[in-house]
Amino acid sequence: MSVPVWLLASFAAVMLLVATVSAARLALARRAGRDADIDVSHLLMGIAMAGTLVASLSTLPALAWEIVFAALTVWFA
């Protein structure tokens, strides 16, 4: 069974919205002097998930994303 393209595009749009909100929170975090590690991780996850759902939105090769998320895992561990 195939998933409709419009559904994948809708979920990708939601992921990009999450990334946009996280980018705004990241900008505000720098001004407020608070930690921004969670906002960075949400920003990266939103971009990566949108690229997973819609192939034309892919920004980095798979190996680069694996390295990014391995580094995030180490950071949060």
pLDDT digits (tens, 9 = 90+) for 5-52: 999 999 999 999 999 999 999 988 877 777 788 889 999 999 999 999
pLDDT above 70 for 1: no
Give me 12's structure tokens: 């990708």
Which residues neighbour 19 within 8 Å (Cβ) at sequence distance 6 or greater? 42, 43, 45, 46, 47, 50
Longest dimension (CA), the chain: 49
- Residue 49 belongs to what H/E stretch? helix 37-53
Whole-model pTM: value is 0.84
**pLDDT at res. 34:** 76
**pLDDT at res. 49:** 92
* Strand, helix or coil for residue 33: coil
**pLDDT at res. 31:** 77
